[in-house]
Every structure is written in structure tokens, then in C-alpha cells.
């Protein structure tokens, strides 16, 4: 079979699920092709910490046998998916990208892993990440950096960097990551894929190593909006094992985005019934941004206005943006320090990477007054301001990152004469949606200098993921040829 394996490098779950369901292709074939691609590319890109080739092949055979018995489980049946290496899989090492947990093997499945397997998905491995998810670059001192498939001399972004690299390079059809400061959306932007941070409480965090529990989110990364919806459909929902899980009904996302507003199965759209109103905040998001990234954003807006499927982009006012950084800083750093308090007071302290230990030490200096104001006052004020700005709009639209992927050894960037740390530049526009808990979806928007992808964020109201996915799916179908370029690195 070698030499004739399926080329999965630019395929989607939507495409493959149809072939699997109709038995035109076997789950074994797909998994074999995936494992071969991982073995070929991972030594260069470093997206995986653990590869589950044997168990994946066993599960693929079982998936095929179920189909032969007429027991097709849905769109994820037989689909290779990877998990960020802090989402527990029973019996599989879960390092959290750290030296401290290098040999930790959980004896239970996370809710996410359990739900994925119940839906027939095949977990092919665990993805590299910024240590303890405490960083945005994807540079890991213990397992090496995950490298951007568009240019391996550049950062993948983080902390879910390995997840984004795996999906972007075709080493998995989708991945599930976590987002506390932008850790799904930033690497999705830099690697040219879709990445969704759902509403806080939409996806269970049970069996996921915490960082800052009141702003930790779990969500999917994939190559299309449809694929994001398919994964979210499976992993979303209330979980009694997670106290922060929300008792809110889960809609049929795939039905919502494939609604009757679209004519048959063609790419023709009824312009009178596929219009959305999208607001672009005037404050904060464009105060500091690379002009080349700004150009990509403007071109994206022009495309939204250029065809009938999505129209009505206009500026809106958002108040209270001056409190975003301090609110995020107090919650993120304070809660992270509490999460790691025991290890910080033990000999394990010396096993942290340099940047993570600095972050935790900053967190130990956060005062109770500052933390409580941020947690109970400021973030609600900021959330209220964004919800007010959304009044009369289906979603808000902002850039995801203010720069394209920096070089692996880069510490600072210069934007129109101003110098800013790489960490702050990458997370500048994403943290606000962690502290407010609003759903935010990265959409590949274009290439800087025709070679480095950057994305935009569609932001919705709480638990209205279906709305932003609908907008993204409408846009994606209208510009299908463009997306083939944006989601297909040369690697």
C-alpha cells in the first residue's frame, strides 16, 4: 500500500466523512495516510509530543467494522483528530508541555476525549504546546518549538501551537486545544486555519490541566468552518463533572450553517436572504497594528461587502477598552499563580522554563484587591460594553493578531517606530474575549507579503456560536478558491 496512500494534505472532515459513510474509503486508509504524514513531517515541524499510531490503527479497524454493520456514528466517524497535550486520554502520557509532568499518565479520559471517541473519532496523538499553556509563542524549552508550516523559521503561535501546526500541515483533520489568552486563535491565525474559542462554559474542562480556571476555554481547530461546527457539535454541552459548565442547550450546528437559505448544494446564494450585519469596533483594536496586517483586514472587509452573501459592515463604538489589559493581567496571572502554588513552593520549581517561572512570579504579586476588582467588576463592565456594541449586529469583526508570525528567536517587534514584546503583540487583540467569555472564531483572512497567513476574529453573543459559524461558512463558500490558497502551506 506504500506509495498509493491517500493524500490527506488538503482534505476536510466534510469531504472525508461523505466518503467514509458511503464506504468509498476506509477508516484504515485514512489513518494509515495520517500516520505516514505525521512520521514524514513531525520531525521537521514538531507538532506532536506523543503519536498513537498503534491504537489509532486498532480503532480504525473497529470503526470500519461498525460501518459494515450499518452503525455509522456521524461526521467524525473514522476521522483522525489530535488533542493538545494537556487534555487527558486514559493511559496516555499527558505532559502539559512540562518537565514536571513528563511522566504523568492519567487513569481516566477527559470529557472531550470521551465524547470524541463516542462519536467515532480516532485520536492519533497529543500535540506540542507552550509549557503548561502559559505562553503565546509555542516556544517550549523541554520539547522544542512547534514550527510554522508556512515558514519553519517562524513561530506557530501558542499555546495550542502544535494543534495548529498539525491541522495546517495535514497531520490531523482537526485538533482540540485550549484558549486562556488567545491560545487557539493566535496559532490558528499564524498557521492559516480556523480556530474557535467557544463561549465560556460551552465545552467541558473536566480532565484538562487548568491554567486560569475562570478564563480557560476548550475549543476546536480545523481547516474549514463546517469542520469546526462538526467537532463543536460533539464536544459541546453541559457536564456535571465541570462546575463551570453551562446548562444551555446545544443547537444542531451543522443544520444551522447549512440552512435552507442556501440554494440546493451549489455555491449560488440568495442575496436577499443571506445578509448579515457586522460591526467593526473603532476603539482599541487598530491602535497598534502592522500596516501589512491592516491591509489584509481591509481586503477581507472589502470581500464581505463585495458579494451579496454577507453585507452591512460598519463601524461601532465600544467603551471601556482601557481596562482590558489590567483586567486580563490580574485574572490570568493571579489564577495561574494559585494553580501552580504547590509546585512553586516545592523542588519542582526549578523544573519550570524561564518564561513560565517569570509569569508565575508576576502572578504571585497580584493583590487580592486587584484580582477581585478584575474578576467581579471590570470584566463585567467590559463584557456589557461589547454586548451593547453588538446591539443590532450579528457579530463584531476585528483582527486576530497585529503581526504575522515572528521568527523563532524574535523577542520584540517594531510597528511604525514603536517596539513591543512578541508576547504582548500576539495576544493584544485576543485576551478581551477570554475575560468576557464571548465566542470568537479565527478565520484565515489573507497572506502578508504573499507568504505568511493572518486571520480575523468574528465575535458573537454568548452561546451564539452557530451565528458566527454561519457567517464564516457563508464567506468560505463564496471564496472557496481563496481558501484553498490560504489553508495549504507548501510544507
- Here the cell at position 193 is 486555519
| Residue 89: C-alpha distances to residues 23, 85, 145, 406 (Å) | 29, 9, 23, 32
φ/ψ of 48, rounded to 5, equals -115, 140
Q: Which residues of 356-390 are buried (b: 16+ CB within 10 A; e: fewer)?
A: bbebbeebeebeeebbebbbeebbeebbebbeebb
Query: Could you tell me which residues come within 8 angstroms of residue 168 by beta carbon, excluding any fewer than 6 positions away?
Result: 149, 150, 191, 192, 193, 223, 487, 489
Phi, psi (5° rounding) for residue 298? Answer: -65, -40
Chain length of the chain: 491
What letters, b where the CB count within 10 A reaches 16 and e where it falls short, cover 182-219?
A: bbbbbbbbbbbbbbbbbbbbbbbbbbbbbbbbbbbbbb
Query: How far is 183 from 185, CA to CA, in rounded Å?
Result: 6
84 is annotated as an active-site residue = yes
Angstrom CA distances, 466 to 146, 390, 395, stand at: 31, 16, 11
Residue bearing cell 486563535? 185
Query: Could you write out the DSSP letters of every residue in 116-133?
Result: HHHTT-EEEEEE--SGGG
Q: Which helix (H) or strand (E) holds 217?
A: strand 217-222
Catalytic residue among 183, 189, 224, 466, which? 183
Q: How open is the CA angle 398-440-292, to the nearest 5 degrees? A: 30
183 is catalytic: yes
Catalytic-labelled residue, pool 159, 169, 175, 204: 159
Q: What 3-state DSSP class applies to 220?
A: strand
Beta strand 395-399 with 452-459 is antiparallel
Instruction: Output the CA–CA distances (angstroms, integers) from residue 121 to 27, 59, 196, in the order listed.
Output: 10, 9, 19
| Catalytic, out of 14, 26, 84, 94 | 84
Report, as residue numbers or ranges, the catalytic residues: 84, 159, 183
Amino acid at each position: 500500500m506504500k506509495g498509493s496512500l491517500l493524500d490527506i494534505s488538503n482534505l476536510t472532515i466534510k469531504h472525508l466523512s461523505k466518503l467514509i459513510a458511503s464506504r468509498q474509503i476506509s477508516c484504515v486508509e485514512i489513518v494509515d495516510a495520517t500516520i505516514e504524514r505525521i512520521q514524514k513531517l513531525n520531525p521537521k515541524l514538531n507538532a506532536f509530543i506523543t503519536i498513537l499510531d498503534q491504537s489509532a490503527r486498532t480503532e480504525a479497524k473497529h470503526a470500519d467494522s461498525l460501518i459494515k454493520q450499518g452503525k455509522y456514528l456521524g461526521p467524525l466517524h473514522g476521522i483522525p483528530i489530535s488533542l493538545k497535550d494537556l487534555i487527558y486520554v486514559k493511559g496516555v502520557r499527558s505532559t502539559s508541555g512540562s518537565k514536571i509532568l513528563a511522566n504523568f499518565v492519567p487513569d481516566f479520559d477527559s470529557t472531550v476525549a470521551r465524547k470524541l471517541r463516542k462519536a467515532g473519532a480516532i485520536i492519533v496523538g497529543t500535540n506540542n504546546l507552550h509549557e503548561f499553556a502559559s505562553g503565546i509563542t509555542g516556544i517550549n524549552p523541554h520539547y522544542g518549538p512547534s514550527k510554522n508550516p508556512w515558514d519553519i523559521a517562524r513561530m506557530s503561535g501558542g499555546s495550542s501551537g502544535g494543534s495548529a501546526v498539525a491541522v495546517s500541515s495535514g497531520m490531523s483533520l482537526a485538533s482540540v486545544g485550549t484558549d486562556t489568552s488567545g491560545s487557539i486563535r493566535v496559532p490558528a491565525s499564524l498557521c492559516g486555519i480556523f480556530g474557535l474559542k467557544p463561549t465560556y462554559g460551552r465545552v467541558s474542562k473536566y480532565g484538562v490541566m487548568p491554567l486560569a480556571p475562570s478564563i480557560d476555554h476548550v475549543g476546536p481547530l480545523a481547516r474549514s468552518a463546517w469542520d469546526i461546527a462538526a467537532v463543536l457539535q460533539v464536544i459541546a454541552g453541559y457536564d456535571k463533572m465541570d462546575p463551570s459548565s453551562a446548562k444551555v442547550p446545544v443547537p444542531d450546528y451543522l443544520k444551522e450553517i447549512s440552512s435552507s437559505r442556501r440554494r440546493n448544494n451549489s455555491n449560488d446564494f440568495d442575496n436577499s436572504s443571506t445578509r448579515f450585519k457586522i460591526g467593526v469596533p473603532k476603539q482599541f483594536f487598530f491602535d497598534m497594528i502592522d500596516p501589512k496586517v491592516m491591509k489584509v483586514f481591509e481586503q477581507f472587509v472589502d470581500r464581505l461587502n463585495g458579494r451579496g452573501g454577507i453585507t452591512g459592515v460598519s463601524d461601532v463604538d465600544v467603551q471601556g477598552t482601557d481596562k482590558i489589559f489590567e483586567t486580563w493581567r490580574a485574572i490570568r496571572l493571579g489564577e495561574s499563580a494559585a494553580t501552580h502554588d504547590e509546585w512553586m513552593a516545592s523542588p519542582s520549581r526549578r523544573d519550570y522554563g524561564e518564561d513560565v517561572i517569570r509569569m508565575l512570579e508576576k502572578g504571585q504579586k497580584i493583590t487580592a484587591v486587584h484580582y477581585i476588582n478584575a474578576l467581579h467588576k471590570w470584566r463585567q463592565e467590559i463584557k456589557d460594553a461589547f454586548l451593547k456594541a453588538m446591539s443590532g449586529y450579528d457579530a463584531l469583526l476585528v483582527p486576530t493578531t497585529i503581526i504575522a508570525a515572528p521568527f523563532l528567536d524574535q523577542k520584540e517587534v517594531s510597528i511604525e517606530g514603536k517596539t513591543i514584546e512578541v508576547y504582548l503583540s500576539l495576544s493584544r487583540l485576543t485576551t478581551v474575549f477570554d475575560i468576557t467569555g464571548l465566542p470568537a472564531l479565527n478565520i484565515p483572512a489573507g497572506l502578508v507579503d504573499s507568504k505568511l497567513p493572518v486571520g480575523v476574529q468574528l465575535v458573537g453573543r454568548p452561546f451564539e456560536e452557530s451565528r458566527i459559524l454561519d457567517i464564516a461558512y457563508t464567506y468560505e463558500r463564496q471564496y472557496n478558491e481563496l481558501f484553498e490558497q490560504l489553508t495549504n502551506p507548501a510544507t
